[in-house]
Each structure stands twice: as structure tokens, then as C-alpha cells.
Amino acid sequence: MRARLLRGVDYVSALGNLRHCQVNFTAEQVQPPEWHFDTYRQYLARERPGPPEPGGAWEIACRLVRDYEFSVPAIVRAVYDGRDPLLGRNMLLEGRFHGLRFYMGVRVTDVVDETRGGSQQVWGWTYATLEGHLERGRMSYELVKDLESGKVEFVITGFSQRSPALGPITRLGWLLFGRRTQLRFYRQCGARLRRLVQDRLTGATAAATVLHEGDLVLAPSGIHPTAGDLLTVRWHHPGI
């Protein structure tokens, strides 16, 4: 699968091809200073102290994070098969930059649902980059409720570096814009998730943020999908 394209791809074929791709790094390769190590935290809401409230901010945020609805559609969208369990799910990411489309595969390698340290309720998942991705690395998206204060946060952690397989033009583009876009993505994801959680808590009517066609999902679709966006998810192929 090509990682850099000017036009769209056949989502079904590209997603299916990810089954044959391997993670594009090993644990032994992850060493500073060549890799970036990031942590970003975003306050979402506050519940009563104790376990997460039914239908409260933590549960709402978990559903949004599970479906990748926190992502900023102007920067990154994801296509995945809704029949797949979260653990092991392959996702085709569509990066967007000034009219260009970058198609990159990731795989969910871990799901966490635990009480951490006796004081935090944590749910989230982690993906690793696959062969053909512009980067190498791993990202974790977690919802954390402090059981004593009731504070609910969205926490993004990960490590990454640009892929050594990039061609000269893409490598230059990454040097100029890649890291800046990556950090902006973290901030905007946090802000978007907080807004979506608050909308649901207050009962505000929110536009659908995912598009479905059969079993495949495009997430997020954007607040006001264009005709082009709608056309790209009209799959006419049997299930993967």
C-alpha cells in the first residue's frame, strides 16, 4: 500500500491489505534521542467521587474514544471494519494536509480496562504503526477518572519517529511540518473530545461524527460531511 497519494483509494482493498502488514518497528529500536516521547492530558469533566457514573462523562468519553470520534477530521480520519473486536482491529488512517491524502495502516495491540493504583479508573487502547506508515511508533488513548476527586481526563501517550523509508520529498515535508502537525493534532483531539462530551452531557444535539456503509466505518466524518466525503464511503464490495 502506498503511503502517499493525491487521490482517494479503494478503502475496502486497502483495509484488507493491512492483514498482511507487520508492525514497522521493534522495541529494541525505540531509543532516545532519535524518537519523540509524548504525553498530553486534557480535562474533560468532573463526576462524583467513586466509580464512573452510569451515563456520565467517563462512560460517554469511553464510547467516543472506542469509535475514534475524538480525531480531528481535518487532519486524520480512520476507516475500519465495525465487525472486528477492538483488540487486533486494523485501521486505515487517512491523513490530510493541504489537499494531499496520506494512507497509513495501524493495528490495535492493547486494550486496558483497570483500576490503577487503587485511585484511578482507566479505559483505553493502543495502536502500533504498520509497514507503509509515514511514522514508526505507538500511541495510547486513555480515559482516566480520579476516584477521589471525580476528575475525568483524556490522556494521550506515545513514542514515534518518522519512517526511515520515506522518500526525499516526503522526508523534507515531514521535517518542515510533521512534528508541528503531530503536536497540533494532540491539542485539537483533546479539545474536540471535551466538546463532544460536554454536548452529550448537556443534551445538546450533536451531528453524527461517523459514517457507516454496511460494516465499514469512516470516523470521524466531520460535522458537515461534503458530497465527496459521502461518496468515498459508498462501498460496493463484499465484507472483508
Please tell me the predicted confidence (pLDDT) of residue 222.
54
Please tell me the predicted confidence (pLDDT) of residue 28.
93
Task: Give me the percent of the chain exceeding a pLDDT of 90.
Answer: 55
Render pLDDT for 112-128 as a digit per residue (tens, 0 to 9). 999 999 999 999 999 99
Render pLDDT for 200-211 as a digit per residue (tens, 0 to 9). 999 875 655 777
**pLDDT interval class at 91 (50, 70, 90):** very high
Average per-residue pLDDT in the chain? 83
pTM (2 d.p.): 0.84
Please tell me the predicted confidence (pLDDT) of residue 121.
97
**pLDDT interval class at 235 (50, 70, 90):** very low
3-state SS track over the chain: CCCEECCCCCHHHHHHHHHHCCECCCHHHCCCCCCEEEEEEEEEEECCCCCCCCCCHHHHHHHHHHCCCCCCCCCEEEEEECCCCCCCCEEEEEEEECCEEEEEEEEEEEEEEEEECCCEEEEEEEEEEECCCCEEEEEEEEEEEECCCCEEEEEEEEEEEECCCCCHHHHHHHHHHHHHHHHHHHHHHHHHHHHHHHHHHHCCCCCCCCEEECCEEEECCCCCCCHHHHHHCCCCCCCC
